[in-house]
């Protein structure tokens, strides 16, 4: 159990376009999901907390207008990178929190974004 999927796994887009990444909890409901970004050879940095039915909470330094988060249901959160630039190229990983298991987070397989 506790499987989280992400789609797409890889995406290449041109500068100035927007890209949407989906995060789904497949076998449990998640009122809270998290979005992380990981640059090459670095650690994971929490970008935002996605709350079902309410606005996301962004970490300091993360532009909410650039990284739009929508948590429309108990199994789906989306991250839209708007007006992408090459410096947004990164590995984006989501996680879903399972309340019934001590709030442990389960991580998705990640999405590799390359902006050309």
Q: Point out which residues bind another protein (CB under 8 A).
A: 32, 34, 36, 41-46, 49, 93, 95, 97, 102-110, 112
Cβ proximity to another protein, 66 vs 112, nearer residue: 112
Minimum distance of another protein from residue 83's CB (angstroms): 26
CB 30 within 8 A of CB 96: yes
Give the separation between CA 88 and CA 21, rounded to whole angstroms.
13
Give φ, ψ of 51 to 5 degrees.
Answer: -115, 125
Give the separation between CA 39 and CA 93, rounded to whole angstroms.
11
Q: What DSSP character marks residue 59?
A: P
Cβ proximity to another protein, 21 vs 110, nearer residue: 110
Minimum distance of another protein from residue 99's CB (angstroms): 9
Minimum distance of another protein from residue 52's CB (angstroms): 14
């Amino acid at each position: 159990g506790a499987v989280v999927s992400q789609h797409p796994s890889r995406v290449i887009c041109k500068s100035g376009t927007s890209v949407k990444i989906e995060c789904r909890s497949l076998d449990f409901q998640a009122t809270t999901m998290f979005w992380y970004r990981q640059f090459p050879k670095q650690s994971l940095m929490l970008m935002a907390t996605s709350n079902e039915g309410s606005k996301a909470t962004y970490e300091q330094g993360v532009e909410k207008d650039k990284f739009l988060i929508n948590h429309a249901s108990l199994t789906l959160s989306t991250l839209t990178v708007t007006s992408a630039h090459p410096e947004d190229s990164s590995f984006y990983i989501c996680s879903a929190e399972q309340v019934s298991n001590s709030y442990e987070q389960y991580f998705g397989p990640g999405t590799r974004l390359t902006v050309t």
